[in-house]
Amino acid sequence: MEVTFTVSPDERQHVEYLADLFAVIVAIEKLEKAMLRDLITQEQYDATIRRLLEKYKSSVSYLEQGRNPYYTTIDSFWENYGSKCPAARARIQLGLSDKNQQQKDGHTNTTLVLECGQYFITLMDSLKLQQTAVDQLYTLLADLIQGLKRLGAFDQDFFHRLLVWKEKLDTMKASDELNERDTREFAFVLECGYQAFYAYLSDISTTKTRS
Q: List pLDDT tens digits, range 13-28.
A: 778 888 999 999 999 9
Q: Which of 160, 164, 165 has its CA nearest to residue 149?
A: 160
Q: What pLDDT was estimated at residue 14?
A: 74
What is the third-level CATH fold of 106-198?
Four Helix Bundle (Hemerythrin (Met), subunit A) (1.20.120)
CB 39 within 8 A of CB 71: no
- Mean pLDDT across 184-195: 95
The type of residue at 67 is R
pLDDT digits (tens, 9 = 90+) for 113-158: 888 988 999 999 999 999 999 999 999 999 999 999 988 898 999 9
pLDDT digits (tens, 9 = 90+) for 48-102: 999 999 999 998 988 888 778 878 888 888 888 888 888 888 888 776 444 444 4
**What does the longest C-alpha to C-alpha distance in the chain come to?**
68
Whose CA is closest to 25, among 118, 92, 73?
Answer: 92
Q: Could you say which DSSP state residue 95 is in?
A: T
> Is the pLDDT assigned to residue 5 strictly greater than 50?
no
- Determine the Cα–Cα distance for residues 72 and 156; give it in Å rounded to an integer: 31
| pLDDT (0 to 100) of residue 207 | 57
Q: Which of residues 209 and 77 earns the better pLDDT score?
A: 77
The predicted structure's pLDDT at residue 210: 55
CA–CA dist 210, 187 (Å, integer): 35
Q: Could you state, in order of their start, the residue ranges of all structural domains in the chain?
A: 9-98, 106-198
Third-level CATH fold of 9-98: de novo design (two linked rop proteins) (1.20.1440)
How much is the pLDDT for 139?
Answer: 93
Task: Give percent helix, percent strand, percent coil of the chain, each to the nearest 5.
Answer: 75, 0, 25
